[in-house]
Amino acid sequence: MATTTMAPFRCMMCGHEYQEKVVQGEDVERSCPKCRSNSIRHLKGTKK
């Protein structure tokens, strides 16, 4: 069974940061919910 977690992402076009569900081992093309760009980066070590 696949593991689903929430992960942080950032849009490289508009800078919008958001959380989205991620299924481990699944490669999904993502788009920014604010500007619909597909230039999305997964934030691995977030600094708060």
Q: How many helices (H) and strands (E) does the chain have?
A: 0, 3
Task: Determine the Cα angle at 23 with ends 18 and 25, to 5°.
Answer: 125
> How far apart are the C-alpha atoms of 35 and 15, rounded to whole Å?
10
pLDDT band at 39 (very low <50, low <70, confident <90, very high): very high
pLDDT of residue 47 exceeding 60: no
The pLDDT assigned to 15 comes to 97
Residue 35 sits in a domain whose CATH number is 2.20.28.10
The pLDDT assigned to 25 comes to 86
In the chain, the number of structural domains is 1
Instruction: Note whether residue 32 is domain-resident.
Output: yes
Name residue 20's amino acid: E
Mean pLDDT of 6-21: 96
pLDDT of residue 17 exceeding 60: yes
pLDDT of residue 5 exceeding 60: yes
The pLDDT assigned to 7 comes to 94
